[in-house]
Amino acid sequence: MQEYARIIYDIDMDDDFIDVVIAIEESLGVKFPDEAFAHIHTLGELHDLIYQEAKKLNRGGNKCATSMSFYRLKAAIHRTGSPRRLSPSTPLRTLTDLDYRAVTHRLGDWSAPELSISGFGCLMAVALALLINVPVFFAFGGWAFLTGLLSAIFLLAIAARFFPARLPEQKTVGELASSLAARNLHRLATEGAALTPQTVWKAITQIVADQMGIEPKRLSRKSRFI
């Protein structure tokens, strides 16, 4: 029997949970009051709460949100000049000519996964942090730790902006389409997608999984916020 991952975010104070809630709110185009989450302890309870708002967005459509996202993503990739035939199982790493920023531009106002910092960017940030802080350490001793920490954070943020990874963290075109669907439920509903309980569940688990760096299928309704 598969052992499901437990959500390791503290629902009251952990910033990661706040990021999940913000992503869901932006996807639906709604704002939940803080007290709405006071008694949410499992992913299933979160889904039930979110679905009560999501179903209000339905416009009578019956299209699949993930399929709609896949074809929108496929068209955006082709408009950047990539001639490849794409399927949901196509690995992103095989698209050697893919310009992800150009793809997100083609997606217009759709919310898309951001690029993380590249390995080269990390090395640049660490090298600059050492270059700046080694002299400070010898000059001021212990106080240099705080200076080094702050400068490292600043340099990592700068490096992430100017030295991003070539591709998002999703491994296939289908996984990227699922992330797009999860982040754009309101837009999809206005274009004819049906926001069923299953669609909303898939979106929530995708958002949480992206935050945790795991596969969505490892999450269940019993996964707890701890």
Block means of pLDDT (10 residues each) for the chain, 226 residues, are 48 64 93 88 93 94 95 93 87 85 90 66 58 61 59 58 60 93 96 96 92 83 83
- How long a stretch of residues is the chain? 226
CA distance from start to end of the chain: 23
Q: What is the pLDDT of residue 133?
A: 62
Q: What is the pLDDT of residue 8?
A: 46
CA distance to 41, 98, 157, 225, per residue, from 37 (Å): 9, 40, 31, 11
Residue-wise pLDDT tens digits, 136-166: 566 655 555 556 656 666 555 655 555 445 5
Contact 198, 17 (CB under 8 A): no
Instruction: Determine phi and psi for 63, rounding to 5 degrees.
Output: -80, 155
Q: What is the pLDDT of residue 100?
A: 85
Q: What is the pLDDT of residue 116?
A: 58
